[in-house]
Amino acid sequence: MTEGGQRSFTKFPLQSGTGSRELGNWSLSPYNLVVDMRGLKIMCDAGWPVIFDATHSVQLPGGAGEASGGQPQFIEPLARAAVAAGVNGVFVEVHDAPEKALSDGANALRLSLLPGFWEKLKAIHAVVG
């Protein structure tokens, strides 16, 4: 997974002095990671083995107050894009009940979704090779 150059975006405006910068209705902030697929393709083309961390890519550091939040609905689209970019593998944290997980539940893939998720990634890989 590439994390270099990630920037943070949130839809929630932050007060000045917090390190944020407003861009229209969006603000740069420390709560939402931007995952840039270009870095994955660049590393793949350079011959590096690349593993994309799909679940930590949807994490919202500090987004749940004193803990990290997450947006698991974006695990699959980001993983599909990473596979299409040519990554060698995808790392995914799964849990049978993410809401009960002691760690990283907010950004975990529900275990029951794993088979369909995996089949979609395999189909994309078959096309892009």
CATH code at position 123: 3.20.20.70
Q: Return the closest-CA partner of residue 55 out of 84, 35, 31, 27.
A: 35
**Structural domain contains residue 89:** yes
**Structural domain contains residue 122:** yes
**Structural domain contains residue 100:** yes
Q: pTM for this structure? A: 0.74
Total domain count, the chain: 1
Separation of alpha carbons 15 and 57, rounded Å? 25
**Structural domain contains residue 71:** yes
Rounded to an integer, the average pLDDT of 7-28 is 45
Q: Return the closest-CA partner of residue 107 out of 92, 126, 122, 96.
A: 92
Residue 96's domain spans which residues?
34-128
70-112 pLDDT tens trace? 899 999 999 999 999 999 999 999 999 999 988 889 899 999 9
**Structural domain contains residue 64:** yes
